[in-house]
Each structure stands twice: as structure tokens, then as C-alpha cells.
Chain A
């Protein structure tokens, strides 16, 4: 790669969020460069099978759906941790965003008129689709929703969406630099000017100078090592880069979602679509434990609820012992061979390829596995990072924050394209109004910093640990002590462990010093950032003495709205050896906090009046670094609109 590139908008990340941003910015007339670790179409977005939520209400079971019902489901799902204004923006725009994907060519599954057989809560049900809606986008059932709302393209929604979006990127002639890794942001503590990058073909360092920079680097599940459904490249480098600025905070890093059905032992995701279509979860005695534990939603309660019940089964000795540890079973045999081999073909293929079994005849070994990072770069509703002008974030890397403490299945793919449209437009707007560039000395300094880091790694010798040993130890700590059930004692141990690992990392030694991209060096450059992300996750979880959504403390079982209706903000000041924690209000509360209607519900109620809480939000958030948005604070909320929702979560 050339040493210095200039552009208006630099988008770091070529997944759905990054590419959708890039399209919007290019359409606004800005010059755009996408930098990506791998060719965009290989980004992790391609692995999403299940679907995308948008309140279209086209199918029989989606009848009466509208953005208000979607709003209720999403806020409830978040356990009131979400920013409700952002949720509102999202649910209002999701239908157009999904239809736009149809326009870009996604072969969405369509409504077929007439009567079809489905499995609902384990029973065969005949549903009749109307002639009137035939040919419109079809929806399927996903956990935690009152209506069938998840649009899908057979079993490959993420793949189809990413190919369509990338087709648009190619059509617009947007420059894509693949095999280019951003290492750090060029900034002066207040304004971001692009990034220092490393070419993964040659190992050469370069810079991309930009007026606006968007972090769209996806999740950071790999801080859980192999205990994740995420791709090997989801190492959180973008999120860590923001933390490394010292001024940009990460939001709610302790909010980590576990997916109930990671294939055991590889961690590959078995889609929620299996349960949506009527799959069962079974324990060692082949009992459907979810029926007794969650009589209403059963296998389709929200992910945090299902994962926790599964872990309880395992803890109570009802798990199945296998050669690699304990797991449970997913049963889709009763859906029939035809259904399994066509509608759930990707699941069938995964079982064939990785375990050599046919799920039409055999049970699938599964276990809850790290799946989604609700936390990330804290941004305002325009996607503008707190505390740093010219820096934006979108997609899983961001904490925008429409998911709060638990995101609903199908909401994150939809988030990528909705946020892409909004954040891309704002980034373009920002870039359009700027003519200044960075001080050359600042650029030089940023490059030198990275060159020194590399030189330091290459200069080390001796018998220190390998970077891979540290990664594996981190994985054990994170899964064992910062997992699905958490408690103060284990979290404290985790924090200590991670500090030890940070020290160990300082003494780690490379075994290979070959010229070129050097895969071991490439990983070594990511490891310190991963350790820092892990630390703020564990420490944030320790500090949060309540249970909310996916954050479940056995020693603080109640959701504590009196003390914890807050978002965690973690910063890592420049040169400091430990992070600093702050808390801000979650956002304007339009839908008042209440029970979710599923899962356990022990709640310590807010002591403050709703109006008093809402009164302080804007100022408090500003005090924590929130920059002004394009439309005034609260302007998109449409307060009280949700009362028009007629569908209710059962």
C-alpha cells in the first residue's frame, strides 16, 4: 500500500455497517475509502443466517405489527438499558432499510398465499397467508418478539445482504483497500484525522488521512478466545483503537450476549431459526426443560433467558458429558427431513461438515457461547463518538445504543444498515464542512508510535510466553469468570488475572521475525488492545452490582433501577495503567421501566420520578462527552407514540 492516502471519509471495516456507511457518504458526494482486514464480502456479516427485523407485518403471524410494537420489544429486550430515542429512530427506519436491500437485489423470502404448515412451540400449526400480501417480504419468528418480524433470505440473510451492499459499493466505484489493518487513530485528543494502517500483504505501515473516520469493525467476541460464535477476525481492534485515544469512552462493555446454541465444541453458530421453526432444547434425560421453565415463550424466550436456563441445567448435572466437556442437545428431527435439508440447509451443512452428522436423524450438541457485543464505542444518535470530533462508529463496534443489555436476534443486522444510512450521512456532512488537515508533525508522531511498538516486539528475546498462550489464558478467564452467570468473587479474580496477563504480554516474545506481514506479529499488535477490552469488560461487570439483561449476577439478582439505570463509560487515559469508569443516564425514558414479561423479574424500582430522571439526561450526557447531534436532543423520540402499539408481548 502507498505510504499516504487522502480521503474525505475513511470507513474502517467492510462489513454491512461499514459498507452501508460508505454508500451513503459516496452518494453525498464525498470521496470514500474503505479499509478492511479482509475482502468486504468475507466480513463476519456474511455469517448471519437468521434474518433482519423490520416491522412490515406482511405475514399472518406478523399481522398488526408496526414500529411501535418493534419499539416495545426492543426496549423490553434491552431490559431498559437502551437509549429509547435511538430505538425509535431504528424501528422507524428499519422497514425502508430492508426494502432498500430488496431494491439492491437481496432475494428475500416472500409470502406465498395459501395454507402452510409451521411448528410453533413444538406443535404443528397451519397458517394461511393472504392473497393480498402474496409476494411481499416474508417474516419468521425470533426470540423476544410479539410478532413474526424477522425478514430473511432463505438461510443466508447476512450473505445475501452483504453481497447486495457490496455490489452497490462496486457500482459506485468506492475504493476498497482490503488486507489493510487500522492500528491507531491519528488524533490530537479532540479531533480525529484518520488512521495509521498496516498492509497485511507486505507488512508496510501507511496512513490514511481523512476528514471523517468511521469505526465499523464489528464485534470483539474473540476476547473469549475460542468460546465464541464470532469469526477469527473479530478481535475488537477498532474498539480498542478508540479506547487507546484516552478520551473516547466505551459504553456498557460488560453487556455481552451469549447465544444459546453454539455448536459444541467448535463454537460455530447454529441459528436461532432452528428454534424459531420449532426446534427443541433437550437435557441429558431428553426432557424439554424450557417448557416448564418458560411456559409462555419456551425455547423462544430471549437469548439471555434461554442461555441462563441452559447453564442451570448444566450446573445441576443435567448436561450431556462429551469428550470435550458438557453440552445439551438441540433437536430439529421432528421438523422433517425436507424442512431440515432445505429451509435449514446451512444448519444441515454445518452439522455434516464439522461433526459428520445429519440433524434430520440425530441430535445436535450445543452450548451457550459468546455471541454479540452490546458494548462498544460510545456514540451519540448521529454515530458521533463521545469526546472526539471527526470520529464516528456504526454497527456492532458501536454502542449507539439500541440494544442496552440484551439485543434481540435479528436486530443487529438491521442495525447495521439503518445505522449505516444515518451515520454515513452524518459523517459525509461533517467531512463536507471541513477543509483543514492534520498537522504533519501529528501524523509523523502517530506513525512513529506504531513503528516503535513494532520495533519493540521485534527486539524482544528470551523465554517469555507466546502471544497465543496469553490469548488462551484470557479465553479461560473470560468464559470461566466473566460468562453467563457472574459473581463478585469470580469477577475480582478475573480482573486480577487480566492484569497479570497484561504484565505477561509485556514480556511476551515472538518466535518469528520474518519480513512481510508476519502473522505472529500481526496478532501481537492486537493482543494488548484485546486485553484492555477484556479488562474493562470484567471490571465493568464487577462494578455493576445488579442483574440486567445478559449481565447476570448471582450475588445481585435483582435489576436495580434505583441505582443502575445507567450506562457504563470506560476510558483509558493516555499513559495510565488502569481504566477510569463513569456513568451516564441511559437516555430519555419514554417507555417507563417495568418487567419484561419473560425471564425472572425481581426489580428494585427507581426512586426518582421519571420526569426528574429525564430532566437530567441531556446535560449529564454532555458532561460525559456527548457532542451535539444534527437534530436536537430528543427530537426523534416521538414520545408516547408506543401507546399506539396494539400487539403485546405475551
Chain B
């Protein structure tokens, strides 16, 4: 193996709780080791070089969505970013759009809760749960399609990469649009397409998007966000033609066979 590199980290620092500090960039150096990830590197820096450094990790396995940050200009999950894939100088910044908590730590939690409230990200069902009844049936293929869009881990990379989200607070963001599509696809959700119209087809929704595609490029879960947007636009345009809409939504509901009673 070739000689270990010395990595230079340039890290955005700012602690809003400390009146004596101002935003600045701090430099750290460390030796690279095999399989080094930004999770390991940042902990090394905190434990050996500057214990006040703030950042967020939980699962450290790319499933919880805690650790997104801007690495050399691009939003990524830090825990699964290997330094071997980066140049010697690594510049780390907090995600934009979200409120800064300190250094690399931002408040994605509140943002996503707000989004969930806005798009009412839950199954809207008119029937109560019956604990003694067998589950409603669903084709596995449909379950898999729903699961595909359910895979979003709310890391915020797409939101941070989206020019519209950056300038408009009320835009639900690519992750929000994906969430809407996830519930539209789900026959258990009894919302009619027309009910979606308000949130989806305003500027807060899919028509706010200007199709720059940055979101799909940066999504660590490789969600097909552009397909999602296209799906929503199509749906919303169709919902202008009420009869057509009725047919489609009826068909959508038929596609999930009901449990024979």
C-alpha cells in the first residue's frame, strides 16, 4: 500500500450559544487510515483535537438520516462517506435551509415534522382498526412500489440541494413531494386526488419545482425523485378533468383486492 495521506479538514464552526464566537472555518489535520469514514474522522477530531465540535450521528450505518452535511460542496451522508473517495482537503459545512444548531449540526427534525404536518403524512382512513379481522390484502408488487418511496430517510440532502427550497420557506421540498406520492400510491389512504390538489399543485407543491434535478442527484437512497415529480404533475393535470379522475382513482382502489368477508 502507498503511504498514508495526511488529510486536511476545513470545518465550518459556529456556536450560536456562545456570544463570543463568530462563524469561521477551522483547519484540522489527521493521518488517513484504511476504511476511514467521516464518522470516524469527525469523532477522532472531537476526541483528540477539539472537543467542542458539534455534529450528529446515530446509526452510523446510513439508515437514520442524522448525519447529512455539505462535503466539498455536495450534500451527503457523512457516516457512509469514505475519505478514500475524497481529495486530501475536505471541506465540511452544515446543510443550508435548516436551522443551524451548532457547527455541522442542523435542525432537520423540526423541518420534517413540519412537512409531515403540512402534507398530512399518514394514512387517511375512514374505518377504524379491527383487531380481530385479518389484514386487508395487497398485491406484493404494490407493496414493493410503496416501499420504494417509503425508503426516504429524511436526511435533508435533497432539500439542501434544491434551489427552490433554499429561497422559499413554504415549498415542501423534494422529500415532501416524495412523501405525497407515497400516500397517493397507497390504496389504504382514502384521500381523493382532488383533496391533494391544494397542497400539491400550488407553488408550495410540485409546481414550485423548476426541475433543476439536483435533488435526485444527491439523494443517498437513490429515490427516483424526478419520476415522482412527473407522476404528481400528471395526476394534478388529470385532476382538472373530474371524470377522468374518478375513473383513475376507482381503478387505483380496485387494484388492491379487499379481504373477502
Q: Which residues of A contact B (CB under 8 A)?
A: 38-39, 41-44, 46-47, 96, 99-100, 102-105, 107-112, 134-138, 153-154, 156, 159-160, 163-164, 166-168, 170-171, 176, 178-179, 201-203, 231-233, 265-266, 268-269, 323, 346, 349-350, 353-356, 466, 468, 510-512, 514-520
Contact = CB atoms under 8 A, between A and B. Distances in A.
Interface string B93-125: 000000001100001111011001100111101
17 contacts: A42-B66, A44-B58, A44-B64, A99-B131, A102-B135, A107-B147, A108-B143, A110-B138, A135-B139, A136-B137, A156-B150, A168-B122, A346-B63, A354-B37, A466-B51, A516-B17, A516-B18
Contacts of A43: 58, 64
Nearest to B222: A349
Contact of A136 (B51, B66, B135, B186): B135
A114 B6 CA distance: 57
A233 B150 CA distance: 24
B186 A105 contact: yes
Contacts of A138: 140
> Which 8 residue pairs spanning A and B have beta carbons closest together?
A39-B109, A516-B17, A135-B137, A167-B122, A512-B51, A353-B80, A107-B146, A110-B140
Contacts of B60: 231-232, 266, 268
Contact of A159 (B16, B47, B56, B153): B153
A109 B150 contact: no
A154 B140 contact: no
B57 interface: yes
Given A136-B135, A356-B82, A519-B54, A323 B34 contact: yes
B65 interface: yes
B63 A46 contact: yes
A519 B46 contact: yes
Interface of B: 15-18, 34-35, 37, 46-47, 50-54, 56-66, 80, 82, 84, 101-102, 107-110, 112-113, 116-117, 120-123, 125, 129, 131-140, 143-144, 146-147, 150-151, 153-154, 183, 186, 188-189, 257
Pick from B84, B107, B140, B188 the residue with the most CB of A within 10 Å: B140
A105 B63 contact: no
Contacts of A353: 62, 80, 82
A156 B131 contact: no
Contacts of B121: 167, 170
A514 B52 contact: yes
A512 B52 contact: yes
A201 B108 CA distance: 13
Given A42-B64, A46-B63, A349-B62, A110 B139 contact: yes
A510 B51 CA distance: 8
Given A354-B37, A519-B51, A96 B57 contact: no
Nearest to A165: B122
Contacts of A514: 15, 17-18, 52
A49 B235 CA distance: 33
A42 B51 contact: no
Given A103-B123, A170-B121, A519-B51, A46 B64 contact: yes
Pick from A39, A107, A179, A203 the residue with the most CB of B within 10 Å: A107
A135 B16 CA distance: 53
Contacts of B16: 516
Nearest to A201: B101
Contacts of A47: 59, 61, 63-64
Contact of B64 (A104, A201, A231): A231
Contacts of A100: 129, 131
Contacts of A269: 61
Given A138-B140, A156-B147, A353-B80, A42 B17 contact: no
A229 to B, nearest CB: 9
Given A42-B66, A268-B61, A468-B47, A136 B134 contact: yes
Nearest to B140: A110
A516 B109 contact: no
Contacts of A103: 123, 125, 129, 135-136, 188
Nearest to A510: B51
A44 B143 CA distance: 24
Contacts of B80: 353-354
A52 B37 CA distance: 31
Pick from A99, A105, A354, A518 the residue with the most CB of B within 10 Å: A105
A206 to B, nearest CB: 15
A517 B136 CA distance: 47
Contact of B52 (A102, A108, A179, A519): A519
Pick from A323, A354, A520 the residue with the most CB of B within 10 Å: A354
Contacts of B57: 232
A47 B59 CA distance: 7
Nearest to B132: A96
Nearest to B108: A39
Contact of A134 (B18, B122, B125, B137): B137
Contacts of B58: 38, 42-44, 231-233
Contacts of A154: 144, 147
